[in-house]
Amino acid sequence: MNRVISIVFLMIITNSCQNKVKIEESKIDLKSQWVDSTYSKMTLEEKVGQLFMVATYSNRDSTHINSIKNLIKNYHLGGLCFFQNSAIKQAELTNQYQEIAKIPLLISIDAEWGLSMRLDSTFRYPYNMTLGAVQNNDLIMQIGQQIGKHCKRLGIHVNFAPVVDINTNPKNPIIGVRSFGEDKYNVAEKSIAFTKGMQSEGVMACAKHFPGHGDSSTDSHKTLPTISFDAQRIDSVELYPFKQVFENGMASVMVAHLNVTSLESADGLPSSLSYKITTELLKEKLNYKGLIFTDALNMKGAADYKKPGDVDLAAFKAGNDVLVFTENAPKGISKIIEAYNNNEITEERLSHSVKKILRSKYEVNLNNYEPIEITNLIQYLNSDIDKSLYNTVIKEAITVIKNEDAVLPIADTVKKIAYLNFGDGSNKEFLAALYPQIEVTKLERESLDKTLKDLTKYDIVIIGFHQRNFRKIRQLNNEELQWIEKISKNNKVILDVFASQYCLANLTFKI
């Protein structure tokens, strides 16, 4: 009979309001006045320019910066999506770009686990899948609020978060730990909490990736993933968290590049370019009224379907409001203007999206734009509140999967404890936390037979599995399985996992 005591801690470790987004009734008339007045003064070119949100980087040279300034001045861009570098540089560039914009720019970023996802010297919160293990949703709301404060301080109006995809496919190469998990109710609850926190600070949340990227086996950055479930399954599972966050005031949504065969009959037509999915399903059936963003149009899932310019026009015709990360903004703008002049796009359709964009700008206070204050910016983005909240969340996220014979907490009578290290990640912090609490001997792994013999002297064996890249989906390999299972046959084992929980998929403890 195996003496197996398998206790697993799952910790996905990361090194890791006056102008609220929701509409306040007292401001509806003032907002409408500002939107209508602004729209009435715009040229056709300025209106179409508002539809485009191009990618910009704070770590590139003056050629890139000047190209962005040219697009703002001559093509009347509606917004920018920032990518890599530093918070200080982004703040400086944002001030420069806003200064030359006739209508203030809507600034966005991917900050799913905080600004650290894109910017150095900023705070990093845990991945969503770690947060999915936290039982207290108020903590998730507090994280959303802190990330909202950081975004607002840096002049960011839209955070492309949370990911509300349900990660029902463990082999998903692009969602994975970015999801709150594979339970639709938990995903919805966590998404709502995160959104309420962030939007309480006047920053727009964005649910992604509609209609659900959680069960794909390919990455839409590289190809067009196919979702082959029937419409009933998609409605009851994939769409569930979207419907819940929509009912709870989600300010915006991002439409993915997916081939959803039960929702779109045209062969290989991405959901982002599909009228049936973007307009008939999202806007009409689900009655979603918020701002609709495309996923990045340079991703292969969309870019391989049509040429630059044509893909922008197709995305707008499908029903999207904001065209993100276009490969060629001037060409896209030209295509939409041409379609408008040829009566392929009506004034009603154009004003619908442009006024939605202007309303969103009003709701994030861009009608009273002020430059970003650089002083003490980094200190604000790395506060003691953030550090304390992070530590609390990590403690709450520790999950005990199995605790046979109540081995935890370790009894005072246990005298001899050994530690073995597995995986390619660092164990220094874990060992540093163990040593003050218990007397533990770190053993080097030599041959399995010798290790098994050495372990006969110990009451408990702690095995730490540390994954350097904790986003990587890697199951325990055969050698690791053999070692863990044979050790557990003769010893009480505590297995601590600092990685994706999917690494345990083939662990059975049966020899």
pLDDT tens figures, 312-341? 999 999 999 999 999 999 999 999 999 999
Q: For the chain, what is the radius of gyration of the CA atoms?
A: 25
Q: Does residue 435 share a domain with residue 365?
A: no
pLDDT value of residue 222: 80
Neighbours of 94 (CB within 10 A): 21
Nearest to 336 by CA among 13, 49, 109: 49
For residue range 179-229, list pLDDT tens digits in order.
Answer: 999 999 999 999 999 999 999 999 999 999 999 998 887 878 888 988 989
Q: Does residue 443 share a domain with residue 315?
A: no
Residue 326 and residue 52 in contact, taking contact as beta carbons nearer than 8 Å: yes
The predicted model scores a pTM of: 0.91
Residue 399, C-beta contacts closer than 8 angstroms, at least 6 positions apart: 8, 9, 10, 11, 133
The domain of 308 spans 42-384
Q: Does residue 413 share a domain with residue 372?
A: no
Structure tokens at 352: 């619908």
Q: Does residue 271 share a domain with residue 130?
A: yes
- With respect to residue 396, please indicate whether it lies within any of the assigned structural domains: no
| Per-residue pLDDT at 21 exceeds 50 | yes
Q: Does residue 497 share a domain with residue 420?
A: yes
In this prediction, residue 430 has a pLDDT band, given cuts at 50, 70 and 90, of very high
pLDDT value of residue 1: 40
Coil vs helix vs strand at 55: strand
CATH number at residue 441: 3.40.50
- With respect to residue 190, please indicate whether it lies within any of the assigned structural domains: yes
Q: Does residue 315 share a domain with residue 443?
A: no
pLDDT value of residue 9: 45
| Per-residue pLDDT at 3 exceeds 50 | no
Q: Does residue 456 share a domain with residue 372?
A: no
- With respect to residue 392, please indicate whether it lies within any of the assigned structural domains: no
Q: Does residue 415 share a domain with residue 358?
A: no
CA angle 375–376–379, rounded 5-degree value: 160
- With respect to residue 59, please indicate whether it lies within any of the assigned structural domains: yes
Q: Does residue 428 share a domain with residue 309?
A: no
Q: Does residue 440 share a domain with residue 300?
A: no
Amino acid at 229: F
For residue range 482-491, list pLDDT tens digits in order.
Answer: 999 999 988 9
Write down how long the chain is: 511
Residue 425, CB-side half-sphere exposure with 13 Å CA sphere: 23
Q: Does residue 78 share a domain with residue 222?
A: yes
pLDDT value of residue 16: 41
For residue range 176-193, list pLDDT tens digits in order.
Answer: 999 999 999 999 999 999
pLDDT value of residue 301: 87
Residue 115, CB-side half-sphere exposure with 13 Å CA sphere: 33
Phi, psi of 478 (to 5 degrees): -60, -40
Beta bridge partners of 495: 8, 463
- Only one residue has tokens 């005031």, namely 249
Q: Does residue 422 share a domain with residue 370?
A: no
Nearest to 374 by CA among 190, 154, 63, 148: 154
What letter would DSSP give residue 52?
A: E
- With respect to residue 17, please indicate whether it lies within any of the assigned structural domains: no
Mean pLDDT in the chain?
A: 92
What letter would DSSP give residue 372?
A: P
- With respect to residue 22, please indicate whether it lies within any of the assigned structural domains: no
Residue 321 and residue 51 in contact, taking contact as beta carbons nearer than 8 Å: yes
Q: Name the H helices within 161-200.
A: 184-199
Interval 292-311 mean pLDDT: 92
**Does the N-terminal peptide bond of residue 241 adopt cis geometry, omega within 30 degrees of 0?**
no
For residue range 89-137, list pLDDT tens digits in order.
Answer: 999 999 999 999 999 999 999 999 999 999 999 999 999 999 999 999 9
- With respect to residue 47, please indicate whether it lies within any of the assigned structural domains: yes
Residue 497 and residue 8 in contact, taking contact as beta carbons nearer than 8 Å: yes
- With respect to residue 399, please indicate whether it lies within any of the assigned structural domains: no
Nearest to 4 by CA among 478, 376, 365, 404: 404
| Domain stops at, among 367, 384, 401 | 384
| Domain stops at, among 369, 384, 399 | 384
Neighbours of 448 (CB within 10 A): 13
CATH number at residue 303: 3.20.20.300
Question: Per the structure, how many domains does the chain have?
Answer: 2
